[in-house]
Amino acid sequence: MAKQKTCAAKASVGGQALIEGVMMNGPQGSALAVRHTDGRIITEPVEFRHVKDKVKLLGVPFIRGVVNYIETMIFGYKCLMRSADLSGQMEADEDPEKMSKMDRWLNDHMGPKFMGAVTAVLSVIVTAISVFLFVYLPTLLVDLADEHLLASRLADFHPLLEGILRAIIIVVYMFLVSRLKDIHRVFMYHGAEHKTIFCYEKGLELTVENVRSCKRFHPRCGTSFIFIIIIINIIVSSIVALIFPILQDHSMRLIWMVVKIFGILPVVTAISYEMLKYAGRHTNIVTKIFSAPGLWMQRITTAEPTDDMIEVGIASLKGALYGVEAEPEKPEAPEPEEQPEAEEKPAPENE
């Protein structure tokens, strides 16, 4: 198999699965590629400005993790929305012949401001559900078990049990979500993203055949990041609970929640980010232990892609590596030259 350019193989790349597409980050910036409903692959550059480029302090280890996490969330959402536009699916969904009566009525009577308000409300609801499921519910379940089943025997293991329950809830949630058709396709593109990156990191030529033969489980994936956060959170929360045992009292649960979200979580995120970067560069017993849960979870959050999805992943990575070539402008047709009017010859006189 042909090798890639030596200089390119040293560049660090990453990516994200989108709606019918993939976004990649590389030395030439970020690029996304999307499969349109008509079969075309649309590739375009995406501007991503890091705050650390302006404020150097925000790029320092153990500070950059929190900043990078926030930036990635915002940028990822932007790319996700852009992929929905480029794929042409929104236009297909807005086809009056395919819309339900309720959707048709909303489309005819409600303007952009109303839809923006609906989106904002849904965002608040989703955030509230996420906090309840992944932050409050594990604490509540351990408290109930501690109070009604085993008296106070669980107090010393509260952070550990919370972490285990949180991991179980996340796994069950992701498994159920993966059963949805649209989400499953995103997970297939997630697989295409990983395989394409692996192919590039091996120094192989970016072809469908080479990409198809690569693994789809990557240690630097955001899925691994989630489980690294859970493991580090258990450790940090246990230390905080030992130093401040009063926080484990049931009457202090609200304060404990605030401490976890605004105090412990930023520290955990910072440490987890450094661990993820270290795991991506090194292979040893420590990195294997921390990466293992995330790699197992990728059996749910990734799926084997089809060849046409791999083509999209390759197009996106090439755009991030070498830049997205602008489509050549169609030359304007030259205006026809004006022909000189033929001089009218006098008609011959009749003899």
Phi, psi of 255 (to 5 degrees): -65, -40
* Residue pair 269/66 in contact by the 8 Å Cβ criterion: yes
Look at the chain and count its residues: 351
**Sign of the Cα pseudo-torsion (217, 220, 224, 228, in order):** positive
Other CB atoms within a 10 A radius of the CB of residue 45 amount to 15
Ordered DSSP codes for 99-168 = S-HHHHHHHHH--HHHHHHHHHHHHHHHHHHHHIIIIIHHHHHHHHHHHHTSTTTTGGGHHHHHHHHHHH
User: Does residue 343 lie in a domain region?
Assistant: no
**Considering only CA atoms, which of 296, 258, 65 is closest in space to residue 174?**
296
User: Does residue 78 lie in a domain region?
Assistant: yes
User: Does residue 331 lie in a domain region?
Assistant: no
193, amino acid identity: E
- The Cα 29–Cα 48 span in angstroms is 7
User: Does residue 48 lie in a domain region?
Assistant: yes
- The Cα 23–Cα 324 span in angstroms is 12
- Mean pLDDT in order along the chain per 10 residues (351 residues): 42 88 90 94 89 83 87 89 86 55 58 63 83 86 75 69 90 93 94 95 94 90 85 90 82 85 90 84 81 89 96 95 61 44 45 35
Question: What pLDDT was estimated at residue 150?
Answer: 57
User: Does residue 328 lie in a domain region?
Assistant: no
- The Cα 76–Cα 14 span in angstroms is 12
Alpha helices in the chain (DSSP H): 6-9, 64-87, 89-93, 101-109, 112-131, 137-148, 158-178, 181-201, 208-212, 222-243, 253-259, 265-281, 285-301, 307-322
335, amino acid identity: E
User: Does residue 337 lie in a domain region?
Assistant: no
- The Cα 92–Cα 97 span in angstroms is 10
User: Does residue 108 lie in a domain region?
Assistant: yes
* Residue pair 303/188 in contact by the 8 Å Cβ criterion: yes
Burial of 319 (0-12, 13-18, 19+ CB in 10 A): buried
Question: What pLDDT was estimated at residue 121?
Answer: 82
39, amino acid identity: G
Question: What pLDDT was estimated at residue 227?
Answer: 85
275, amino acid identity: M
Number of domains making up the chain: 1
Q: Global pTM?
A: 0.78
**Considering only CA atoms, which of 230, 226, 217 is closest in space to residue 295?**
217
- The Cα 170–Cα 284 span in angstroms is 26
User: Does residue 197 lie in a domain region?
Assistant: yes
- Quote the DSSP letter at residue 262: I
Question: What pLDDT was estimated at residue 113?
Answer: 61
Domain range for residue 61? 6-322
